[in-house]
Amino acid sequence: MTTLRTERLELRPATRQDADALREHWNHPDVRRYLFDGKEVDPTLVATLIAESDIARDGYGLWRIHRDGALVGVCGLRPHESGEVELLYSLDPSHWGHGLVTEAARAVLTEGAKAGLTRILIETDEDNEASQRVAVRLGAVDQGSDGRLRRYLLSLP
């Protein structure tokens, strides 16, 4: 299992043992407002997201973002129903505004490129301007909106 390190972060692969911590993170009201359509995240969904994530098999998946040893978020690549691979990220609100998601996403995208991925989907809620800025900073191209979600595509080298 690949642990990723950046200047400020350590990204550890998500495992079944992390289910409770991930569920607690994703159920923070300010986090889930923009994820999972604002609905409560149940144990089955968390188990599914972790099961989809097989870094050893695919070279990509979900990583827990740690700063100074504490879990502060999640970043990863997962299959999307469109057939694309989607970049997923969330961060504890106390860490918003410091570039941590962008830093984590760059590390995750590097792993995706090593695994042979060439194109990544990023979807954000239409009103989540902070997440849209992350997509643009990563080099993603705005593909428009369906009125609810804004879609970006990112080409990997």
Contact 152, 143 (CB under 8 A): yes
Q: Name the domain count of the chain.
A: 1
Task: Check residue 1 and give its pLDDT.
Answer: 59
- What is the residue range of 89's domain? 4-155
pLDDT single digits (tens) 81-134: 898 999 999 999 999 999 999 999 999 999 999 999 999 999 999 999 999 999
- Match 């969904």 to its residue by tokens: 45
Query: Rounded distance, CA 150 to CA 132, Å?
Result: 8
Six-digit token string for 93? 């609100």
Nearest to 73 by CA among 139, 12, 123: 12
85-91 and 119-125 beta bridge pairing: parallel
Q: Sheet containing 62-67: which strands, arranged edge to edge?
A: 4-5, 10-13, 62-67, 70-79, 85-91, 119-125, 149-155, 141-145
Q: Has this prediction a pTM greater than 0.85?
A: yes
pLDDT single digits (tens) 135-156: 999 999 999 999 999 999 999 9
Q: 136: domain CATH number?
A: 3.40.630.30
User: Where do the DSSP E strands lie in the chain?
Assistant: 4-5, 10-13, 62-67, 70-79, 85-91, 119-125, 141-145, 149-155
pLDDT single digits (tens) 22-74: 999 999 998 988 887 778 899 998 998 888 888 878 888 999 999 999 999 99
